Structure 1
């Protein structure tokens, strides 16, 4: 086998590698987030504020199914990165084939199930009153394209594991740009309303899938799998599942959070509060793109060097990633503290929504400067194949702290209790993650463990 570019992960400087990996990942996340952001703006201005709430109801369901692809992708990519680092190329190929089979089997099954209980699911996730019908329309159409999105998410992680972040970036940009163009045509020109927004999203998923398929069939990819690689191997499936479950559990908790938030806010403030949360949620997806980009760039570097037993490089990668992510998170914090009302006005002209959202946005992002430790810490354990601590640290913020807080604090502080739950859970989760990450570094990544 010829020398592969993934070997650069073990030789180039950490700073250069992290920038090389993180910048394309950040750009890809930025474009994807801008797509969600602009899509919401288009829907809010061309259809109405209720349509924003309707999409927010559907997102946790479609994202959870798509997150299966992301989970399988990240779980398998951790194996692939370490396999490439330790020169086990056949294991990398077998892992990729198993990822494809698992993604298809699971997502198609869940889509069939999701379409069988449309009314119940939409209602359970907060699609009530005037929100129900547009949410049902959007949900039904988008769900058809979710398996394609899952395959794209899975493939994107594998592309990064190969050390080709620019191609991963292109894969994220294609559906975003396509969706915005189709939004304009289907909503503004053809006046298809919510159905137009849904079809624009679904068709854009198809375009992304076509690109990812081209990448792996072309000479760009190092992973040239055969039919035999598609057969499920118990040990590989178990390892993909244990590591991928971390990502899946995180998205499952996000979906549960949406369920609670939409219902709690609807009871406290009606459709206006749900819309305010939808806008803040879009900013959570958009504003954090540089920090998430660093986290995505960190994963293959840490995994490869851990597989190569180069622990000094792993320590350096952790420290550099946290520093970069913290600086970027602080920049995000400053912007959102200064301009929350201007940001809100981009989404809607509804007076009540504009009145309520800025305060909520400030509370939600109040602890943003410190979250780098939590994100990089949880990602580290996933990168090195330690599924249990990765799972527990991933669930710490939303599962162990945030959900209990939003169930308790609103009883005493009303709607304010919902918003202050965000920074409290961020602080607590960061403290817990910092403790376990520091302990792991002192035990596992000692200098004397480096190979001579």
Structure 2
């Protein structure tokens, strides 16, 4: 059974078995965003690219809800299976699906019924308003299936199907490319085509993620278990920190858009959009690393195997550091070639501005992986408070303060330095929280030894 593998198989083997498919899956999800950027930037135009970026904070809310419920569900199911309580695992699964369906339907109604108000709140101007409202209203139709797909994908990992989880996202990106080519390039549907391409690709991913649960090839069953309010609260609480990270990403995009609109205008937002795609890919790789190991950590923590938990954490920390260095080197040396994917090579002003920003922004990856791994670790052991502190520090507080202070001192350079500085400040907090957690574990272990 899968729980025996998670509890007994060599940690390095489990690490590779879970982290590689998870990284690949998140990389595919990041590439899915780049596919949008390529087709929108090259076949619709710069304003359309800026419009999609303005709409992203709203999408981040939906993704945040999916991550909150998905990771909260994964960590609880992992611990329950580690404790041998399959009934509680089934209750958790049923509860997660019902709350996800309810919230996503509510967001669908908001997206369709208050589209213009959403666009105004996100800071769009009159020139971009039509495309922003079109994108939000069309993508909004697919939000329930997107949310449920997120939950199913996280549960698939704890069910011992990390490779299948990766294949779900691979199918999503392949279908996304096909739909983008058909709707944007061939049929000329513009921003509406981009929205429908995104939505339909997630529909296909949802159907594929659902299949193992319909056929009964999982430990938790689709039609077993009961909805329980206490479990619903625990799911939201345990996943809150990771969801807060997604919310902070949306807030970060919003704050950058407002700042760049004031300093540079639409050109600044278009350049930041390209940098956001690079950041999204890099962060997705690191998040995939943390998510993949989360199943190993949560299960073994539930079993009380502290040494196995620490071995998994050490491997993850070292891997995150080396991946971050690799991303920094790639962006520093090939940012122009990568950013040219999204812009006409003749648009020198936007291209040069984006390349300049990307090379400064890249310094964030030298430390961001350590913060992401620590946040994922705290969520996996059901300590969402510590994880939330990290998310708030690097997101709302760090970005907010740095965007207020640095541009006024350093100008445009200060805008691009905001994320690296926020990540460095957060790392100080991360080290402090990890030290306290290890001291707490050691005191508990010593207490048990003394009782013996």
Change (3 A) 1:305 1:139: same
Query: 1:438: which partner in 2?
Result: 435
The one of 413, 417, 420 aligned to 1:420 = 417
Q: CA deviation at 1:130?
A: 2.4
Deviation per CA, 1:82-141: give whole Å up to 9, x if none. 111111111111000000000011111122123222112112213214222112111110
The one of 335, 352, 356 aligned to 2:349 = 352
1:238 counterpart = 2:239: no
Query: 2:304: which partner in 1?
Result: 309
Query: 2:107: which partner in 1?
Result: 110
| TM-score computed with the length of structure 2 as normaliser | 0.95
Is the 1:373–1:434 Cα contact (8 Å) retained in structure 2? no
Once superposed, what is the RMSD of the aligned Cα atoms? 1.7
Q: Following the alignment from structure 2 to structure 1, what is the Cα–Cα distance between the partners of residues 191 and 379?
A: 38
Q: CA deviation at 1:65?
A: 1.5
Q: CA deviation at 1:449?
A: 7.2
Number of corresponding residues? 447
Is the 2:64–2:244 Cα contact (8 Å) retained in structure 1? no
Query: 1:279: which partner in 2?
Result: 274
Unpaired runs of 5+ in structure 1?
A: none
Is the 1:57–1:127 Cα contact (8 Å) retained in structure 2? yes
Is the 1:55–1:135 Cα contact (8 Å) retained in structure 2? yes
Unpaired runs of 5+ in structure 2?
A: none
Q: CA deviation at 1:412?
A: 2.7
Deviation per CA, 1:276-299: give whole Å up to 9, x if none. 110010111113343222111111
Is the 1:141–1:195 Cα contact (8 Å) retained in structure 2? yes
1:29 counterpart = 2:26: yes
Bigger shift: residues 273-282 or 212-221 = 212-221
| TM-score computed with the length of structure 1 as normaliser | 0.95
Q: Following the alignment from structure 1 to structure 2, what is the Cα–Cα distance between the partners of residues 114 and 230?
A: 30
Is the 1:65–1:111 Cα contact (8 Å) retained in structure 2? no
Is the 2:290–2:377 Cα contact (8 Å) retained in structure 1? no
Is the 1:30–1:289 Cα contact (8 Å) retained in structure 2? yes
Change (3 A) 1:327 1:141: same
Query: 2:182: which partner in 1?
Result: 185
Bigger shift: residues 300-309 or 208-217 = 208-217
Change (3 A) 1:450 1:194: farther
Deviation per CA, 1:327-374: give whole Å up to 9, x if none. 111111111111111112111012211110111111212131222321
| 1:45-444 map, 5 Å | 45-226=42-223, 229-231=225-227, 233-349=228-344, 350-444=347-441
Deviation per CA, 1:304-330: give whole Å up to 9, x if none. 000000001111111111011111111
